[in-house]
C-alpha cells in the first residue's frame, strides 16, 4: 500500500458562505492583489495578469525601492545583521505588507513604495520570517505574523497592536506543545518561519524548532483569529490512544521532538481542509530511541481546518535518518489524469521527489513502490527496512554520488574531489544509514527548498532545486567526550556545541552557515552572548549553557580565552557537565561530528554542474518539459565553463502571459523565463541577493513585480524591497 488510512467518509464539504470567513482571500484572487503567502490559499504562485509579457518584458524597469531595515551606520554600510530578508510580501487593496530583517512589520503604498506605517515588536529572539497573513471581517482588518516565540495581531490599517488578541496583542507559540511532556516546554526554542492560514476565524500554523535533543514536539495548532485563544492541537507525535502511537516507543511522546511543519500550509476553503508537510523527528541523524516508522514525521497531511481531525496522511520517509523534510508548502491543483479531472495536492521534497496525491484520499496519482533498503545502522539504531520509490515524476535532483559524478570544471578540482571521495565508503543507496566512517548525502539544502514552486492552470509545475552533496560523519557521545578532555574548556564547548555547523576551523560553509573567524570585529561580546542564549535565524538557542560556559565559548571565538588552573581530573568533569545536556529530555547516543558541504578546493560543489536548476513538469503525465541551469558564477563563465547554476533560495511566480519570475541565485540577479521553453527573456542585477520569492499585482491598471533583496547567506547584505513595472 502506498499509505495507511483511511478514515471512513473521507472529506465532508464545508460551506464558504459564512460571514466570519476571511472574505479578502476569497474575493481578491483575481490577480489585482496578492493577498496570501503563495499568492492564494492554494499556494500555487500563479497570477492571471498579462500586461507584462514576453514581447515587452525587455522594457521592465525599477518603479520604486523601499529600504526596509534600519538605516546604514555612519560608514554608510549595511550590517550583516540587517540582511537576509526571506519575506514574500502580500498586497491587499493596493497596500503591501512585509517584514524587515529585524522583523519590523510595515505597510506600503504598493504603487509608490511610500511607507504608511511600521510596527516594531520586541526583538529578544529573532527568526527568519517568510510571510504574513491577512484577515478581515467588516471593518476589522488584521495582519498576523510571528516574531520569536510570539504570534502578533496588528491592525492592518494603523499598524497598532490589536490588544484584545491574546495577551495584549500576542500569543505564545509554546502554547499547546507541552501536553504530557516530562519537561518544561517554555525553556525550549519555538518560532515559526512561515505564516499560517486562516479558515473562517481559525488560524492554523506550524512551528520551527531545533533539530537536536532540545526540540519540542512539532504539533500543529489552531488559534482563534479574534481572541488569540488556542482552539485545537493535532499531535504530530501521537499520544496514548491516538492513531499512530504504536509507530513510536511507548514514552517517545514525552521526550522526542520535531515532526513539525515549518514550511507553511495550503487551504482548500471549499472542503475546509488544510494541507501541509512535516519534517524529520529529533535528532536528525540518529534514531536509536525512536524505533518504528515514526508517524507523523515526514508526512503529507490533510486536517479538518475547523477541528484539527485528520483526514489522511501519506508518509514519504520512514524513520528519517537524513533530515529529508518536506520543505515548502504543498500546492493545490487540478490536473487531467487518465482522462479524468482530478483535484490534487503536489508536494516537493528536499530529496527532489515530487508527490502528486489525490486531494480527497491522499493516494498517489502515479505508482509508488516500497523497496528494501540498507539497514546497517549505527549501534542501537533501527533503520526501517523499506522506503518509497516513485515512478513519476523522476527526482528533480541527484540522489546519490558516484565516481562518474565528480566535478569536471577543472583537472585540479576533479583530482581534489576524487581523492576525498575515495576516502568515503561506497554508497549503495540514497537511504544508506549515517555512520562513523562517513556518508555523502543530498537533500539538506534541497532538492526543493522553502521558496516553493509555481503551478499554472494547465497543470505545469515550475520548481527550482539545489544539487549539492554534503558530508556527514557521526561520533558517539562517549568518544566525543574523550576527544574533548584534552582541550581547553572554551575549545571543548565550541567543538561540542558549535563545530558541527560552523566547522572545527570556525570557517562555516560560506553560504548557509557563516564563518566565525574575526567575529569579534562584527559583533560585540553582548551580541554574541545573546545569540548563544536565545538563538538567531537558523541558529538554535543554547539555554542549558551557564554564564561561565558562554564566556568560555566567547573567549575561544575571540582568541582570548582565559584558562584557569585545574586540579587533576577537573577538566574532564567540566566537559562532561557541559556536554551531556542532562536537563534535556532526549540526548542521542550518536551526534554529527562533521556535517558540511562536500566541495572542491575553491568551495564549489563537488559534483559536475549544474548545481542549481529550474524545471517544468507536466503534472498531467508526470513528464519533464524542460530543465535549465538557474544562476551562474561569472568567474567560471569567463573561463569558458558553461553556465553552472548556483544555490537557489526563494521560489518562482508564474503569470497568465507565460512568464516565470525568479531571483534566488548567488549571482544576485532577477530573471524572467519563457514558461514554454525555459529561455531567459529578461534579467536584472539586484543590489543584493533576492533570496525570497517574488510577487506580482496591479495598482491603477499597472502590473508590478516585486522582490525582497535582503542579501546575506554568505553574500553581501541588503535590505531592499524593489518593484518593477513597464516604462
pLDDT in tens, 194-223: 999 999 999 999 999 887 777 899 999 999
pLDDT tens per residue across span 634-653: 999 999 999 999 999 999 99
Phi, psi of 72 (to 5 degrees): -55, 155
In the DSSP assignment, the letter for residue 506 is S
Q: Classify burial at 472, counting beta carbons within 10 Å of its beta carbon; exposed 0-12, middle 13-18, buried 19 or more.
A: buried
Q: What is the mean pLDDT of residues 80-88?
A: 74
**Structural contact between residues 284 and 325, judged by C-beta atoms closer than 8 angstroms:** no
Q: Name which of 340-344, 487-491, 626-630 the model is least confident about.
A: 487-491
Q: What is residue 4's predicted lDDT score, i.e. its pLDDT?
A: 34
**What pLDDT was estimated at residue 595?**
85
Average pLDDT of 376-390?
Answer: 97
Mean model confidence pLDDT for the chain: 88
Q: How confident is the model at residue 288, as a pLDDT? A: 94
Non-local (6+) Cβ contacts of 432 within 8 A are 374, 439
Alpha helices in 104-230 (DSSP H): none
Geometric angle at alpha carbon 427, from 482 and 382, rounded to 5°: 60
Q: Confidence class of residue 499 from pLDDT cuts 50, 70 and 90?
A: confident
**Percent of the chain topping pLDDT 90:** 70
Query: Exposed, middle or buried, 339 (CB in 10 Å: 0-12/13-18/19+)?
Result: exposed
Q: Could you tell me which of 441, 164, 199, 171 has the C-alpha nearest to residue 306?
A: 199
Beta strand residue intervals within 256-329, DSSP E: 265-268, 273-277, 299-304, 310-315
Which DSSP category does 25 fall into?
H
Domain boundaries, the chain: 473-597
User: Would the pLDDT of 70 be above 60?
Assistant: yes
From residue 108, give the alpha-carbon distance in Å to each of 32, 111, 235.
16, 8, 38
pLDDT in tens, 448-457: 999 999 999 9
**Spatial CA neighbour of 574 closest among 483, 479, 489:** 489
Count how many residues are written for the chain. Answer: 727
pLDDT confidence of residue 76: 43
At 618 the three-state DSSP class reads strand
More confident residue, 515 or 398: 398
DSSP 651: -
Phi, psi of 553 (to 5 degrees): -65, -45
pLDDT at 179 > cutoff 90: no
Regarding predicted confidence, which is higher, 525 or 10?
525
Q: Do strands 653-655 and 46-47 pair parallel, antiparallel, or not at all (unpaired)?
A: parallel
Which residues, at least 6 apart from 270, have a Cβ–Cβ distance to it below 8 Å? 13, 14, 16
Mean pLDDT value across residues 615-641: 97
Q: pLDDT tens digits for 272-308?
A: 999 999 999 988 899 999 999 999 999 999 999 999 9
pLDDT at 555: 85
How many C-beta atoms lie closer than 10 Å to residue 457's C-beta? 12
What is 473-597's CATH number, 3.10.180.10, 1.20.1260.10, 1.10.760.10, 3.40.1360.10? 1.10.760.10
pLDDT confidence bin for 575, thresholds 50/70/90: very low
Confidence (pLDDT) at 605: 96
> Within a 13 Å sphere around the CA of 233, how many CA atoms are in the beta-carbon half?
20
Q: Which residue carries 549501534 as its cell?
A: 379
Percent of the chain with pLDDT over 70: 88
Closest among 120, 40, 106 to 68, alpha carbons compared: 106
pLDDT at residue 676 tops 50: yes
Q: What's the pLDDT tens digit per position in 226-245?
A: 999 999 999 999 999 999 99
Higher model confidence: residue 186 or residue 586?
186
> Cis ω on the peptide bond leading into residue 447 (within 30° of 0)?
yes
Name the maximum alpha-carbon separation found in the chain.
79
pLDDT at 14: 35
Across the beta sheet with 460-466, what order do the strands follow? 453-455, 460-466, 612-618, 623-629
At residue 573 the predicted structure's pLDDT band, cuts being 50, 70 and 90, is very low
CA separation, residue 240 to residues 178, 314, 719 (Å): 15, 21, 48
Find, among 199, 51, 144, 237, the residue nearest to 705 by Cα: 51
Question: What cell does 138 get?
Answer: 467588516
Is the torsion defined by CA of 256, 444, 319, 614 positive or negative?
positive
Q: At what angle do helices 477-484 and 570-579 cross, to 10 degrees?
A: 140
Nearest to 414 by CA among 596, 607, 597: 607
Q: Is the peptide bond prior to 464 cis by the omega test (within 30 degrees of 0)? A: no
User: Any residues with CB less than 8 A from the CB of 6 and at least 6 apart, and which?
Assistant: 311, 312, 361, 362
Q: What's the pLDDT at 77?
A: 53
Q: Which residue has the cell 538567531?
A: 536
Structure confidence by residue, pLDDT tens digits, 551-560: 888 888 888 8
Q: Answer with the residue of higher pLDDT: 490 or 176.
A: 176
Q: In what order do the strands lie in the sheet with 331-337?
A: 331-337, 340-348, 354-358
- Residue 268 — very low, low, confident or very high, per pLDDT cuts 50/70/90? very high
Q: How far apart are CA 554 and CA 545, in angstroms?
A: 12
Rg (CA), the chain: 24
**3-class SS of residue 384:** coil
Read off the pTM.
Answer: 0.90
Is residue 142 within 8 Å of 126, Cβ to Cβ?
no
Distance CA 490, CA 607 (A): 36
CA-wise closest residue to 296 among 235, 208, 236: 236
**Residues 6+ away with beta carbon under 8 Å from 577:** none
DSSP 3-state of 113: coil
Residues 6+ apart with CB under 8 A from 221: 173, 175, 176, 177, 204, 205, 207, 230, 232, 233, 234
- 392 vs 521, more confident: 392
Whether 112 shows a pLDDT value over 50: the answer reads yes
For residue 462, the model assigns a pLDDT of 98
C-alpha cell at 320: 528519517
Distance CA 221, CA 142 (A): 19
Mean pLDDT of 87-109: 96
Structure-block grid coordinates of residue 198: 486562516
Angle, helices 525-534/547-557, rounded to nearest 10 degrees: 120
Angle at 353 between CA 430 and CA 243, to 5 degrees: 90
Whether 433 shows a pLDDT value over 50: the answer reads: yes
pLDDT at 593 over 90: no
Q: Respond yes or no on whether the N-terminal peptide bond of residue 384 is cis (omega within 30° of 0).
A: no
Task: Check residue 534 and give its pLDDT.
Answer: 63
Q: What is the pLDDT of residues 402-423, one digit of tens each?
A: 999 999 999 999 999 999 999 9
What does the buried/exposed string (b/e) look like for 680-704 if buried means 16 or more CB atoms within 10 Å of the residue's CB? Answer: bbbebebbbbbbbbbbbbbbeeebb
Look at 420 and 583; give whichever has higher pLDDT: 420
Amino acid at each position: 500500500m502506498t499509505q495507511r488510512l483511511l478514515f471512513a467518509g473521507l472529506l465532508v464539504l464545508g460551506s464558504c458562505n459564512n460571514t466570519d470567513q476571511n472574505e479578502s482571500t476569497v474575493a481578491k484572487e483575481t490577480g489585482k492583489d496578492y493577498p496570501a503567502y503563495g499568492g492564494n490559499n492554494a499556494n500555487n504562485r500563479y497570477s492571471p495578469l498579462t500586461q507584462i509579457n514576453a514581447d515587452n518584458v525587455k522594457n521592465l524597469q525599477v518603479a520604486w525601492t523601499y529600504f526596509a531595515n534600519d538605516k546604514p551606520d555612519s560608514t554608510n554600510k549595511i550590517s550583516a545583521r540587517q540582511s537576509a530578508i526571506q519575506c514574500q510580501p502580500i498586497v491587499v487593496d493596493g497596500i503591501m505588507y512585509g517584514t524587515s530583517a529585524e522583523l519590523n512589520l510595515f505597510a506600503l503604498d504598493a504603487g509608490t513604495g511610500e511607507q504608511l506605517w511600521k510596527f516594531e515588536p520586541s526583538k529578544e529572539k529573532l527568526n527568519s520570517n517568510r510571510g504574513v497573513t491577512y484577515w478581515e471581517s467588516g471593518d476589522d482588518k488584521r495582519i498576523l505574523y510571528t516574531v520569536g516565540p510570539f504570534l502578533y495581531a496588528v491592525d492592518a490599517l494603523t499598524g497598532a497592536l490589536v490588544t484584545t488578541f491574546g495577551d495584549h496583542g500576542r500569543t505564545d507559540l509554546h502554547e499547546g506543545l507541552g501536553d504530557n511532556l516530562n519537561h518544561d516546554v517554555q525553556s525550549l526554542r519555538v518560532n515559526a518561519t512561515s505564516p499560517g492560514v486562516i479558515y473562517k476565524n481559525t488560524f492554523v500554523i506550524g512551528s520551527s524548532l531545533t533539530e537536536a535533543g532540545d526540540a519540542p514536539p512539532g504539533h500543529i495548532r489552531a488559534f482563534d483569529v479574534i481572541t488569540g485563544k488556542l482552539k485545537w492541537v493535532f499531535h504530530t507525535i501521537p499520544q496514548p490512544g491516538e492513531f499512530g502511537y504504536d509507530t513510536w516507543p511507548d514514552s517517545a511522546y514525552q521526550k522526542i521532538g520535531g515532526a513539525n511543519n515549518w514550511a507553511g500550509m495550503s487551504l482548500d476553503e471549499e472542503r475546509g481542509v488544510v494541507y501541509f508537510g512535516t519534517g524529520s523527528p529529533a535528532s536528525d541523524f540518529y534514531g536509536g530511541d525512536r524505533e518504528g516508522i515514526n508517524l507523523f514525521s515526514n508526512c503529507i497531511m490533510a486536517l479538518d481546518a475547523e477541528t484539527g481531525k485528520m483526514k489522511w496522511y501519506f508518509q514519504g520517509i520512514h524513520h528519517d535518518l537524513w533530515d529529508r523534510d518536506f520543505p515548502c508548502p504543498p500546492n493545490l491543483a487540478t490536473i487531467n489524469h487518465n482522462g479524468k479531472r482530478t483535484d490534487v495536492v503536489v508536494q516537493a521534497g528536499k530529496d527532489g521527489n515530487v508527490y502528486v496525491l489525490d486531494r480527497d484520499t491522499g493516494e498517489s496519482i502515479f505508482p509508488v513502490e516500497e523497496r528494501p533498503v540498507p539497514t546497517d545502522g549505527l549501534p542501537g539504531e533501527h533503520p526501517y527496512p523499506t522506503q518509497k520509490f516513485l515512478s513519476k515524476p523522476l527526482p528533480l535532483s541527484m540522489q546519490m554520488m558516484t565516481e562518474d559524478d565528480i566535478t569536471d570544471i577543472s583537472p585540479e578540482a576533479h583530482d581534489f574531489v576524487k581523492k576525498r571521495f575515495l576516502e568515503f565508503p561506497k554508497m549503495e543507496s540514497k537511504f544508506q544509514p549515517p555512520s562513523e566512517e562517513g556518508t555523502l548525502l543530498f537533500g539538506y539544502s534541497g532538492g526543493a527548498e522553502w521558496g516553493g514552486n509555481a503551478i499554472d492552470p494547465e497543470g505545469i509545475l515550475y520548481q527550482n532545486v539545489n544539487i549539492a552533496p554534503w558530508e556527514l560523519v557521526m561520533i558517539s557521545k562517549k568518544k566525543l567526550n574523550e576527544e574533548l578532555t584534552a582541550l581547553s574548556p572554551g575549545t571543548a564547548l565550541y567543538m561540542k556545541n558549535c563545530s558541527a555547523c560552523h566547522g572545527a576551523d570556525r570557517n562555516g560553509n560560506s553560504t548557509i552557515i557563516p564563518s566565525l573567524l574575526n567575529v569579534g570585529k562584527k559583533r560585540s561580546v553582548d551580541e554574541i552572548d545573546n545569540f548563544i542564549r536565545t538563538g538567531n535565524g537558523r541558529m538554535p538557542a543554547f539555554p542549558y549553557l551557564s554564564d561561565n560556559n558562554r564566556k568560555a565559548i566567547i573567549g575561544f571565538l575571540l582568541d582570548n580565552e582565559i584558562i584557569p588552573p585545574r586540579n587533576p581530573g577537573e577538566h574532564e568533569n567540566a566537559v562532561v557537565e557541559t556536554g551531556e545536556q542532562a536537563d534535556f529530555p532526549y540526548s542521542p547516543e550518536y551526534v554529527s561530528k562533521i556535517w558540511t558541504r562536500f566541495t572542491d578546493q575553491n568551495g564549489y560543489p563537488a559534483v559536475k554542474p549544474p548545481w542549481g536548476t529550474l524545471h517544468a513538469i507536466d503534472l498531467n503525465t508526470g513528464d519533464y518539459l524542460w530543465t535549465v541551469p538557474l544562476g551562474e558564477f561569472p568567474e567560471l563563465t569567463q573561463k569558458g565553463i558553461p553556465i553552472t547554476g548556483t544555490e537557489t533560495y526563494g521560489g518562482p511566480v508564474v503569470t497568465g502571459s507565460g512568464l516565470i519570475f525568479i531571483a534566488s541565485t548567488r549571482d544576485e540577479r532577477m530573471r524572467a523565463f519563457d514558461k514554454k521553453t525555459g529561455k531567459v527573456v529578461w534579467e536584472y542585477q539586484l543590489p543584493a541577493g533576492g533570496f525570497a520569492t517574488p510577487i506580482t499585482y496591479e495598482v491603477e491598471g499597472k502590473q508590478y513585480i516585486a522582490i525582497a533583496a535582503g542579501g546575506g547567506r554568505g553574500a553581501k547584505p541588503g535590505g531592499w524591497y524593489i518593484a518593477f513595472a513597464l516604462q
